[in-house]
Amino acid sequence: MNLLELRDATFLYGGTRGSTESTGISSINLVVQTGRNLGVIGESGAGKSTLLSLLLGLAQPSSGRVLFQDEPLALDNRRQVVKFRTAVQAVFQDPYASLDPRRKISSIVAEPIRSLGLLTDKTETKERVRESLKAVELDENIANRYPHELSGGQRQRVAIARALATHPKVLIADEPTSALDVTTRIEVIELLRKLGVERGLTIVMVSHDVSVVASLCKEVVVLSQGRVVEHGEIPEILTKPKNEYTQRLISAVPRLPR
């Protein structure tokens, strides 16, 4: 069974200038399989955000399908959507923007459990929050603090803890380390890798940063102008890119001096 799949999915933005102003995506095929982290690489305007909103069930494709556990995802089917949102969670780029500044960390981490109605018991919820914070290696005392009291790296860990709270199968990470310093970036990548192994979590990493994607994903699709221009395993894509755009992208990545 595939966890998540885009089958010939196209999304076009409306409006008269839509076709030139914002990139949709066209005819994308993509399969997320258990235990196989998938990287989606693309630069600005490649269609990453559009792809994400389809994968996260925030938009319906104009044509083609989004499949969740081999069944078409119907956003008006409440039962299926609850199941889907429990299994597919997300972490976004900017931990400053994605955490509600007026709420304590405990309430932020419990949010998906609450909104999906997964646990009704207070003690159980509290226990789940504690477990999630522990999984991201944060001290449990942090539960009583507010986002502004934490560093950027800690906030991103909170965002990951919130995603883990539903015990998801897939974690969709949208540029999860782009706003972080390089030393913190390494820690978060390491954490995601560990969570993948320990919790059987499959990660879909969407990023413009080839090295971050390569650190975590074996399989990669390269997105350009709304299309998948290359799809394969990371070592091949890094060493023998076939597509002209992929070649340009890979060769532009700055490298450290030997």
Partner 1 sequence: MSSLLRVESLSVAKRASHSLDATAQDADQLLRQVSFNVEDGERVGLIGESGSGKSLTALAIIGLLPDSLLQSGSVNFAGREISSLSNRELQKLRGREIAVVFQEPATALDPLMKVGKQVAEPIRRHFGLRGSDLRRSVISALDEVQLANALRIADSYPHEISGGERQRVAIAAAIACKPRLLITDEPTTALDVTVQREILKLIQNLVTERSMSLVFITHDLAVVAQVVDRILVMRRGEIVENLSVHQLSSAPAHPYTQELLKSARLLDSALGA
Binding site for partner 1 (CB under 8 A): 43-44, 152, 181-183, 185-186, 208, 210-212, 214-215, 235, 238-239, 248-249, 252-258
Tell me whether residue 88 or residue 205 sits nearer to partner 1 (CB atom).
205
Instruction: Give the CA distances from residue 27 to residues 47, 227, 243, in Å, rounded to whole numbers and listed in that order.
Output: 12, 7, 18
Tell me whether residue 21 or residue 76 sits nearer to partner 1 (CB atom).
21
Instruction: Give the CA distances from residue 23 to residues 11, 28, 129, 197, 226, in Å, rounded to whole numbers and listed in that order.
Output: 9, 13, 38, 35, 6
Q: Give the shortest CB-121-to-partner 1 separation in angstroms.
A: 41
Residue with tokens 């706003």: 179
DSSP string, 2-32: -SEEEEEEEE---STTHHHHS--EEEEEEEE
Q: Give the shortest CB-238-to-partner 1 separation in angstroms.
A: 5
Q: Give the shortest CB-46-to-partner 1 separation in angstroms.
A: 9
Give the C-alpha separation, 109 to 114, whole Å.
Answer: 10
Q: Is residue 233 a contact partner of residue 254, using CB atoms and an 8 Å limit?
A: no
Tell me whether residue 16 or residue 120 sits nearer to partner 1 (CB atom).
16
Q: Give the shortest CB-219-to-partner 1 separation in angstroms.
A: 14
Tell me whether residue 85 or residue 155 sits nearer to partner 1 (CB atom).
155
